[in-house]
């Protein structure tokens, strides 16, 4: 009985040794496992809940119980379907439901900082034609470039940002280039969301935003990515048209290739017209730090300086205020969203650690000054002025301390918690109430 078992085992082992020594293609007995068939239809889903508490974030006044001094729950759900009948053709549709619950703020998105309700709407819907390295995407889609200082999805916001656009992409191993023509989609709580060109703002401004963005890793030997871009914005107003160009560059280190040295810079110049006034403006970001990549907690220390020009005279027919375009400002100039990349001096320091692979703790400190007190203090939306202009006031607006903790609990579930405190400075005191502000939040995100 034992001999009967040993003989076939030896035979199998001998066959295995023979197969291991021969290429599968030359051995007719080899078992070849074919690669998995690509999925023609795929789904994605995200559910996000965020509780927020805000006090004095908008008026910096303890004496007024504003509608914005409140707490609320932000709920957002997204469902996407992708159909890819071939490697050269795909269709994608994504719906979104976003709600602001138990809030006293107006229900209309953007009013008094509200994110509002948009119960069921179309977030993305596009067709992509061509292979991975050479393709065109047509329809409602996300545009995101660089660190999103000028063009981003603004995903912190409950609604986010998308565009109706045509985007061309061509790439190789070392570089890629994209060219696009787009118009931003405007949220509407009571109706289907239309883009600006199709009168989403009901102003007839016929916005067209276009550009070319080149990114390469071949120029810098220090393990960094270098970007170059040229952007153009056209809008029409009763008081005059807006047509201006933004030319910029960005360099960002890859700390895994620089021995832990962390550096980044982005600079952009603008010229043209804003509502028939001559525009000439500049903005820059410079940062340098170090990541202890071999340390267990991977501590990171980073210092940066952000600058953007302001306008010294609103009546001289010129505009010197940098136009922030379509950014994700929440990531850069304090988590209370009181500042944008406009009329600003902003030195900042950041320190973070990772106690485990799934947990990250970070502390940021910001100081804020106006580049020109004859121009406004602009919120993160780049449009709303926080205070009336007072040219004789000090340029020191205040400081902000931000603490955040993130936890990737599972592959599909993550948590974020944070607390921010704003300390009012001399400019705030000279232009109105100057009480400190607080912001706290807890967020859970499920992705599938």
Q: What is the pLDDT of residues 326-376, one digit of tens each?
A: 999 999 999 999 999 999 999 999 999 999 999 999 999 999 999 999 999
Backbone φ and ψ of 52, nearest 5°: -125, 145
Give 106 or 24, the one with higher predicted confidence. 106
Model confidence band, residue 27 (pLDDT cutoffs 50, 70, 90): low
pLDDT tops 60 at residue 17: no
Looking at residue 403, what is its pLDDT? 98
Other beta carbons within 10 Å of 237 = 14
More confident residue, 5 or 179: 179
The residue among 218 and 20 whose pLDDT is bigger is 218
Residue with more model confidence, 113 or 326: 326
- Going by C-alpha positions, the residue among 216, 209, 277, 213 that lies closest to residue 247 is 213
Q: At 262, list the tokens.
A: 């962390």
Please state the rounded mean pLDDT for residues 11-18: 37
Picking from 52-61, 68-77, 114-123, 175-184, which range would have the lowest pLDDT averaged per residue?
A: 114-123
Bridge partners of 235?
242
Above 60 in pLDDT, residue 188?
yes
Top pLDDT among 72 and 382 is at 72
Of 192-201, 343-352, 395-404, 411-420, which range is least confident?
192-201
- Confidence category of residue 395, pLDDT binned at 50, 70, 90: very high
**Mean pLDDT (whole number) for 307-323:** 95
Residue 6 confidence (pLDDT):
36
Give the model's pLDDT for residue 30: 62
| Confidence band, pLDDT 50/70/90 cuts, at residue 21 | very low
Find the mean pLDDT for residues 109-126: 88
Q: Is it the case that residue 282 has pLDDT exceeding 90?
A: yes
Mean pLDDT over residues 255-272, rounded?
94
* pLDDT above 90: residue 323: yes
By DSSP bridging, strand 344-356 and strand 318-319 are unpaired
pLDDT attached to residue 28 = 55
pLDDT at residue 259 greater than cutoff 60: yes
For every residue of the chain, which 3-state class applies, written as one string? CHHHHHHHHHHHHHHHHHHHCCCHHHCCCCCCCCCCCCCCEEEEEEEEEEEEEEECCCCCCCCCCCCCCEEEEEEEEEEEEEEEEECCEEEEEEEEEEEEECCCCCCCCCHHHCCCCEEEEEEEEEEEECCCCEEEEEEEECCCCCCCCCECCCCCCCCCCCEEEEEEEEECCCEEEEEEEEEEECCCCCCCCCEHHHCCCCCCCCCEEEEEEEEECCCCCCCEEEEEEEEEEEECCCCCCEEEEEEEEEEEECCCCCCCEEEEEEEEEEEEEECCEEEEEEEEEEEEEEECCCCCCCCEEEEEEEEECCCCCCCCCEECCCCCCECCHHHCCCCCCCCCCCCEEEEEEEEEEEEECCEEEEEEEEEEECCCCCCCCECCCCCCECCCCCCCCCCEEEEEEEEEEEEECCCCEEEEEEEEEEEECHHHHHCCCCCCEEEEEEEEEEEC
Choice among 64-78, 100-114, 332-346 with the minimum mean pLDDT: 100-114
What pLDDT is recorded for position 235? Answer: 97
């Amino acid at each position: 009985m034992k001999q009967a078992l040993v003989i076939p085992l030896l035979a199998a082992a001998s066959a295995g040794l023979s197969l291991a020594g021969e290429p599968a293609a030359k051995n007719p007995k080899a078992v070849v496992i074919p690669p998995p068939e690509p999925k023609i239809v795929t789904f994605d889903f995200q559910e996000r809940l965020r509780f927020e508490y805000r006090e004095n974030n908008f008026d910096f006044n303890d004496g007024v119980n504003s509608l914005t001094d409140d707490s609320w729950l932000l709920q957002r759900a997204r469902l996407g379907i992708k159909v890819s009948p071939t490697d050269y053709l795909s269709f994608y549709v994504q719906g979104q439901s976003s709600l602001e619950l138990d809030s006293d703020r107006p229900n209309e998105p953007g009013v008094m900082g509200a994110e509002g309700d948009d119960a069921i709407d179309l977030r993305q819907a596009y067709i992509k034609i061509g292979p991975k390295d050479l393709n065109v995407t047509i329809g409602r889609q996300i545009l995101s470039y660089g660190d999103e200082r000028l063009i981003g999805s603004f995903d912190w916001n409950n609604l986010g940002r998308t565009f109706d656009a045509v985007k061309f992409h061509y790439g190789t191993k070392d570089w890629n280039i994209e060219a696009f023509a787009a118009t931003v989609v405007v949220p509407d709580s009571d109706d289907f969301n239309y883009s600006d060109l199709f009168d989403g703002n009901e102003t007839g401004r016929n916005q067209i935003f276009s550009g070319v963005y080149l990114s390469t890793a071949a120029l810098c030997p220090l393990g960094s990515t270098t970007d170059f871009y040229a952007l153009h914005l056209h809008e029409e107003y009763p008081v005059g048209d807006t047509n201006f160009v933004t030319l910029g560059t960005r360099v960002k280190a890859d700390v895994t290739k620089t021995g832990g040295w962390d550096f980044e810079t982005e600079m952009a110049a603008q010229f043209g017209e804003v509502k028939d006034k001559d525009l000439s403006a500049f903005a820059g970001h410079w940062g340098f730090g170090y990541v202890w990549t071999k340390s267990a907690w991977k501590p990171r220390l980073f210092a940066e300086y952000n600058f953007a020009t302001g306008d010294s005279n609103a009546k001289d027919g010129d505009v010197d205020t940098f136009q922030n375009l379509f950014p994700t400002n929440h990531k850069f100039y304090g988590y209370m969203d009181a500042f944008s990349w406009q009329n600003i001096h902003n030195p900042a320091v950041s320190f973070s650690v990772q106690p485990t692979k799934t947990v990250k703790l970070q502390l940021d400190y910001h100081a804020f000054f106006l580049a020109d007190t004859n121009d406004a203090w602009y919120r993160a939306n780049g449009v709303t002025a926080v205070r009336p202009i007072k040219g004789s006031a000090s340029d020191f607006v205040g400081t902000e301390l931000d603490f955040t903790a993130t936890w990737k609990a599972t592959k599909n579930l993550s948590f974020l918690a944070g607390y921010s405190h704003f300390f009012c400075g001399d400019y705030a005191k000279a232009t109105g109430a100057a009480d400190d502000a607080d912001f706290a939040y807890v967020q859970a995100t499920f992705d599938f």
